[in-house]
Amino acid sequence: FLYEDGEFYFIEMNTRLQVEHPVTEMITGIDLVREQIRVASGEGLSCTQDQVHLHGHAIECRINAEDPETFAPSPGLVKNYVAPGGMHVRVDSGLYTGYRVPPYYDSMIGKLIVYGSNRDSCIRRLKRALEEFVVEGMKTTVPLHQKLVRDEDFLSGNYTIKWLEQWLERGRDDAN
């Protein structure tokens, strides 16, 4: 929204769930898809706004079939797929060994979502889950995420909206 002269103006509205909705589900314990289905079938929501409470910390990584250095699409045959698991680890994906990732669509092949009681425990769980994540047969962004979660600025929370762009540029400069 836009705030100007004491007035709020909507500049965009999405009538669909955002890709990041599992983060909200993890920290509230509310299944947003179930709530949408309830409303669509004429029922009310199962809770009130006052009953919504935030707990802990959640992080989502979009796993794309892309070269982690250039972000060029990397379609191909999935030769081996092993999703991470464990408590508070969620993977939303339709991927399986033998699946052929086509070049025609969005390159996102999955979402890894983890939860922790605080940011540090969430990051520890994310590191482990990323180490367990196996997609063979094409390049993915898993190695990029593995590097990001080891970066000191990320770990300390010392970043801005431009941080990733600058981090990627530094990596390219270091490689040359």
d(CA 128, CA 148): 13
Would you call 16 a catalytic residue per the annotation?
Answer: yes
91 - beta bridge partners? Answer: 112
Contacts of 78 (CB under 8 A, 6+ apart): 95, 96, 97, 98, 99, 100, 101, 135, 136, 137, 138
Under 8 Å between Cβ of 91 and 84: yes
Catalytic residue among 16, 38, 62, 128: 16
Query: So which residues are the catalytic ones?
Result: 16
